[in-house]
Amino acid sequence: MFQKEQITLLKQFVLACKSNPQFLNENELSFFREWLQSLGAKIPPPVEKESTEEPSAEPKVEETPDSKPDTKDPEPEPAQEEQESEEEPESDLDLEELDGIIKDEEDLVLEMGDESTEVTDEMLELSNQKRSEAMSLKSSGDLDGCLKAFTEAIKNNPLSASLYSKRAQILIMMSKPKAAIKDCDKAISINKDTAPPYKWRGRAYRKLGDYLQAYQNFQSSNKLDYDDSVHDWLKEVTPNAKKILDHNRKY
C-alpha cells in the first residue's frame, strides 16, 4: 500500500497538471505522458515560446540581379524530439518468503451487524448464548459451526468489537485472511483502543505476505496490550518489514 506522504505528493502533482497541462510536455515526464496517451488521454500540444529578443538592425543592401535574395521558403528542419530513456532503478528488495502464505482465497461474504439496531436485553442474552456456543464449537474443532454462531452473536450485539475480533480469529484459522481483515477493520471502527483487532489483522496480513502491514499492526497491538505470541510474530516479520521500509526510503 502507498504511504500517506506518497499520496499527498501525488495529489499535489495532479493539481499542478490540472492548473497547467503544459507540465506534461516536459521531457522528464515523457514516460508519464506516453502512459496517459496509451489509455486514450488527450495531451495538449506544446506551446512554442515567443522570442523576446529585439531583431538586430541589419544594413540595407541594394538589390542587384546577382545579389537578389532567394525568394524560396527555407525548408523546415526535421523536428527532432529528444527521447530520454528513463529506466527505473533496479530494486534491491530481496524478501524472504515465509511459510504459510495464502495466495488464492475464495471470496467469503459474511453478515455484519446493523449498528442502528437498538439492542434489547433479550438480544444481549441471545448474543452471549451464541458466543458461548461458538467457543464450544471452536474447542471441538467445528469451525464452520463456530463461524455461524459468532455471526448470530454479532447480529444480536452489532456494537461488540470483541465479537468481530473473535470471528476474525476463526477466519484466520479457516485460511480466510481477507475476510478476517474486514472483521478487524469493523472492530477497530467500533473501538480503536483494544488490542485484539490489531493482533488478528496483523496475523491476516502476515498470511497474505504483506509484511509491512503485519509489522505495523503487531506493533499497535503490543502497545495497547503486550502479548507474547504477538511479540514472536513481530520478530518473524521484522526483517522483511525493515527491508521494505529501507526500499521505500531509497526509491
Which residues 6+ apart lie within 8 Å of 187 measured at CB?
161, 162, 164, 165, 168, 194, 196, 197
Could you count the other beta carbons within 10 Å of the beta carbon of residue 77? 6
Of 53-57, 106-110, 191-195, 233-237, least confident by mean pLDDT is 53-57
Residue 42, phi then psi, degrees to nearest 5: -100, 120
Task: Tell me the HSE value of 63 on the side-chain side, using a 13 A CA sphere.
Answer: 5
Q: For position 5, what pLDDT does the model report?
A: 65
Residue-wise pLDDT tens digits, 75-130: 555 544 444 444 544 556 788 888 888 887 888 889 898 888 899 999 999 999 99
At which residue does the C-alpha cell 504483506 appear? 210
Q: Cα 206 to the chain's mean position, in Å? A: 16
The region of weakest confidence among 30-39, 69-78, 143-152 is 69-78
pLDDT of residue 48: 64
Q: Residue 191 pLDDT > 80, yes or no?
A: yes
In contact, 170 and 138? CB cutoff 8 Å: yes
Q: Where is pLDDT greater, at 85 or 12?
A: 12
> What are the extents of the domains in the chain?
159-250
Fold classification of 159-250 is 1.25.40
CA distance 178 to 171: 9
